[in-house]
Structure 1
Amino acid sequence: MICPRCQTPMHRAAALPERWYCRTCTRYAIPGDSPEDIERHQQEREHAIALLDAALGPRAKQRDADRRIISEMEKTMGQTIQTRGCSKCGGTMYRTVETDDQGNPTGYPMFICNNCGNMEG
């Protein structure tokens, strides 16, 4: 099978399902695909990546802002603020861990999501 863009041989993937891919441009083909099918796969892939970039872009900015806020709060409060992603909605979960004078945690409360209110241990 030949890549319609690069005109180089496509290589068989080692894992199932059976697919062929171009090592130069990452296009892939399923057995029996025409050059038009390969290009359609690539367009669908690029569209999906663009949608992911659009969806995750604002989140990255929010996470950076969250980190700055957390760092400032930890300096002034004598507490450690921990974060993680919410398994329910993908938002940011927080918990405030009280610390002793040396900064060692003294207890671990529940994480609470700032987006949906979900609580997790």
Structure 2
Amino acid sequence: MRENTFRNPTKPKVSRPRVATKGQRKKKKGLFTMVERLFERSYLGRKGIDLQLLKPWLMIMVLGIVYIFNSHYAEKTSRKIDKLQKEVRDLRSQYTTLKYSYMYSSKQSEVAKKVQQLGLEESEVPPFKIIVKEK
């Protein structure tokens, strides 16, 4: 080990440029760091307002903005759901009407009326099986 010695106060200090080593951290470039820099330059920063109070207030403001966005999105979605439900009701009524008209037009009496214009007549003899006897 070396001996303890006193520094010589007569030597002028030589200032060397700082070189970043592995252990040193670089300055952060995050959102709160930028806000703190702006806040330090502003009027409130010069008056001595604590910067630690700024982070919770910013968080509250961000949560408020998210809350407002969420409520607007929910209202928009609700309006869209109402519109789609009305459209489903309309389509269901159209389906019921069309189904009724198709069932009515496929009745035997209606088919006979339409076919009569073509010159076809309804058979009055019931159908029968044709049986072929094998020899």
**Fold shared, TM-score > 0.5 on shorter chain:** no
TM-score of the pair, normalised by structure 2 = 0.31
| TM-score between both structures, scaled by the size of structure 1 | 0.33
Q: Relative to total residues, which structure has the larger strand share, 1 or 2?
A: 1
